Amino acid sequence: MESLPGIVQTLGVLTNFALLGTTRIGGCIRVLALQGLIIGSLPVFLRSGDLELRVWLLVGANVLLKAVIFPWLLLRLRARTGFMREVEPFVGFVGSILFGLAALAFATWLAGSINAALIGRRFVVLDVAIFLILTGLFLIVTRRKAVMQVLGYVVLENGIFVFGISTVVATPLLVELGVLLDAFVGVFVMGIAAFNINREFADVDIDKLDALRG
Amino acid sequence: MKLLVSWLLPLIAMLAAPLLIGLINRTKALVGGRRGAPLLQPYRDIRKLLARGAVYSDTGTWVPQLGPVANLAGLVLALLVVPLAGVRAPIAFPGDLVVVAGLLGLGRFLTLLAALDTGSSFEGMGASREAYFGALSEPALFLALAALVRVTGELSLSGAYARVDTELWANAFPVLALIAVTFLALELIENSRMPVDDPTTHLELTMIHEVMVLDHSGPDLGFIHYGAALKLWLIGALLIGIAVPVRSGNSWLDLLAGLAGLTLLAVLIGAIESLFARMRLAQTPQFIVAAGAFAAVALVMALR
């Protein structure tokens, strides 16, 4: 099956649009888990030939973290901070999807021009990486509830991970696992912070940060 | 022989299109535990309407009389360039896909004008919704067609669809799958089927298409119903051409495969209508834009 990597990448891109268009936080977290599964297992589909233990270890750690642990942490956070159901974006869902389209076009153009500048090896999934990073940033900027910032951060991390596997043939295992650990700690700390903010102010609406005075 | 089947295609479409509506209604009835109307009921409805006289609003000019006729004429013309599965359309030239989209747009525009011209504020509301949703769904159609052109390298519908075979599916699976999903969504959107609009509803606040044709009667309403059946066939044919990649070289066999595909599609639409509730009107634009997103991803994947 020659088009299998293409199918996996397409699914990854579609989960991004699902994240941009989903109105419920619970739904977003489940889509994020799916995206973690797809993106995390991407190295298996991209590398041909025998896979070393290193790749399997990386894939295993990635999928475990992004498809199981992160969603579990986020769902628990959502359950504890009772009233977080709707995403309540600053930019509407139609606007978000339209941004997604523009970002996808931009990512494809950018990846195309970078690839053109390279003489030897082509970056395989560079456009997916750029698209994930842009979507992650967009989610962080335009969503009102603090859980969605954590979610956007994980999408951003997914993008950086894809960027890593697309640009570098052999990143040292230690570096890759270190990045994963960073992401894990990040999500963990942000989760605790959001929970404490919610307990203190009975809300996680980041728009209200504007009213803070030092 | 090929030419004969090609010229038969629009005739079959014009004869059999209302049957699709009958099939959808029958499926819905069966899923709902009823026996349902006979399969030929849409034909009887249209014949009944054609035999009646038309009543025109006093506030209207000639526009409400033009709308249904011009819409139907546009659809019949469009059927002449739309192939079905491996059967080429009788007329094919580079860029004919733009003609199809244009004729669909013209029909929509004239239906809108006719609705506005009757002077009912109610129909203005429906026209406004149709214009909004149409503005969102037409880019989806164009993006899907652009992806199809890109992946097949042909500029005419017949040429492009002739090249969609199992080999192309194996090589460009994501692109074709995304185009097929887009066309399925468009089939539901453009023909006011369930998740978007309810074709049986007469509850004012939720209607989109139905509210625009409230003031049409007699033969005009018959033309509108018949036109709706043709549109269902037309967009269905665009979908089936991709979803049924049978290109045997034998025109009769291809025709049979295409017709079988359309039959299955009608059953599928009936099943979708039975299983899904209508979306809130505020969510509809999201659904249409999502269909556009599928088409855009298809185009991007085809361009890589």
* DSSP per-residue string spanning B106-124: HHHHHHHHHHHHT--HHHH
Give the separation between CA A12 and CA A165, rounded to whole angstroms. 15
Note the pLDDT tens digit of each residue in B100-113: 999 999 999 999 99
Q: What are phi and psi of B68, to 5 degrees?
A: -60, -40
Q: Are B133 and B284 in contact (CB under 8 A)?
A: yes
Q: Which residue has the higher pLDDT, A122 or B34?
A: B34
Report CB contact under 8 Å: A108, B303. Answer: yes
Distance (Å) from the C-alpha of residue A135 to the closest C-alpha of chain B?
A: 14
pLDDT of residue A195: 79
Interface test with B, best of A10, A93, A99, A132 (most B CBs within 10 A): A10
Contacts of A179 (CB under 8 A, 6+ apart): A157, A160, A161, A164
What residues form DSSP beta bridges with A86?
Answer: A24
**What percent of chain B stands above pLDDT 90?**
60
Instruction: Tell me the H-state helices in chain B.
Output: 2-31, 41-51, 63-79, 96-117, 121-152, 157-162, 166-171, 173-190, 209-212, 218-243, 251-275, 284-303
Structure-block tokens of residue B70: 């011009």
Partners of residue A101 in chain B, C-beta under 8 Å? 292-293, 296
Confidence of residue B48 (pLDDT cuts 50, 70, 90): very high
Among the listed ranges A30-44, A167-181, B141-155, B284-298, which one has the minimum average pLDDT value?
A: A167-181
| Contact: A97, B293; criterion CB under 8 Å | yes
Average pLDDT score over chain A: 82
Of the pLDDT bands very low, low, confident and very high (cuts 50, 70, 90), residue A59 is confident
pLDDT of residue A90: 85
Local confidence band at A74 (pLDDT 50, 70, 90 cut-offs): confident
CB-CB under 8 Å, B296 with A108: no
In a mutagenesis test of the B interface, which of A11, A96, A101 is the best target, namely the one with the most B β-carbons within 10 Å?
A: A101
Q: Residue B146 has what pLDDT?
A: 94
Backbone angles phi, psi at A124, to 5 degrees: -70, -55
Bridge partners, A89 (sequence order): A143
Residue of B nearest to A125 (CA): B304
> How many residues does this entry show for chain A?
214
Residue A211 has pLDDT above 90, yes or no: no
Answer whether B45's CB lies under 8 Å from B225's CB: yes
Q: Which of A13, A6, A16, A29 is nearest to A151 (CA)?
A: A29
Length of chain B (residues): 304
pLDDT at position B86 is 83
Residues of B with CB under 8 A from a CB of A: 170-174, 177-178, 285-286, 289-290, 292-294, 296-297, 300-301, 303-304
Q: Find chain B residues with C-beta within 8 A of A97's C-beta.
A: 286, 289-290, 292-293
> What percentage of chain A has pLDDT greater than the value 90?
19
Element (H, E) at A63: helix A53-63
For B54, the 3-state DSSP assignment is: coil
- The average pLDDT across B276-283 equals 83
Please give, rounded to a whole number of angstroms, the shortest distance from the CA of A200 to a CA of chain B: 34
pLDDT at A102 over 60: yes
What is the rounded CA–CA span in Å between residue B13 and residue B18? Answer: 9
Nearest residue on chain A to B176, alpha-carbon basis: A7
Taking the CA atoms of residue B158, residue B88, residue B257 and residue B222 in that order, the dihedral angle to the nearest 10 degrees is 90
Contacts of B292 in chain A (CB under 8 A): 97, 101
Average pLDDT of the residues in B131-136 = 91
Which residues from chain B sit within 8 angstroms of residue A100, using beta carbons? Answer: 293
pLDDT tens digit string along A130-185?
A: 999 999 999 999 988 878 888 898 999 888 888 877 666 556 667 777 778 888 88
Percentage, residues of chain B above pLDDT 70: 98
| Contact assignment for B173 to A104 by CB distance below 8 Å | no
3-state class (DSSP) for residue B55: coil
Q: Which residue of B has its CA nearest to A21?
A: B286
Chosen from A4, A14, A86 to mutate, greatest number of chain B CBs within 10 A:
A14
Task: Report the pLDDT value the prediction gives residue B201, as an integer from 0 to 100.
Answer: 67
Name the more confident of A126 and A209. A126
Closest Cα in chain B, distance from residue A66 (Å): 24
Q: Name residue A111's amino acid.
A: A
- The residue in chain B having the minimum alpha-carbon distance to the alpha carbon of residue A126 is B304
List pLDDT tens digits, range B5-44.
899 999 999 999 999 999 999 999 999 999 988 999 999 9
Residue A155 neighbours by CB distance under 10 Å: 27
If one compares A76 and B204, the residue with the highest pLDDT of the two is A76
pLDDT of residue A119 exceeding 70, the answer is no
In B, which residues are within 8 Å of A24 by CB distance?
A: none
Please determine, for residue A1, whether its predicted confidence score (pLDDT) is greater than 60: no
> Confidence band (pLDDT; 50, 70, 90) for A197?
confident
For B156-182, the pLDDT digits (tens) are: 999 999 999 888 888 888 899 999 999
Contact (CB, 8 A) for A66 and A154: yes
The predicted pLDDT at position A182 comes to 83
Nearest to A3 among B174, B294, B300 (CB): B174
Read off the pLDDT band of A186 (50, 70, 90).
confident
Q: Do the interacting molecules here have an ipTM over 0.95?
A: no
Specify the higher pLDDT residue, A197 or A49.
A197
Select the highest-mean-pLDDT range: A76-90, A152-166, B125-139. B125-139
Mean pLDDT of chain B: 90
Contact A105 B300 (CB under 8 A): yes
* The pLDDT of residue A27 is above 60: yes
Angle CA B252–B179–B159, to nearest 5: 45
Tens of pLDDT along B74-130? 999 999 999 998 889 999 999 999 999 999 999 999 999 998 998 888 888 889 989
What pTM value is reported for the model?
0.89
pLDDT value, residue A89: 84
User: How far does the CA of residue A214 sit from the closest CA of chain B (Å)?
Assistant: 41
Res A192: pLDDT: 82
Is the pLDDT at B262 greater than 90? The verdict is yes
Chain A to chain B Cβ contacts (< 8 Å): 56
A19 vs A147: which has the higher pLDDT: A19
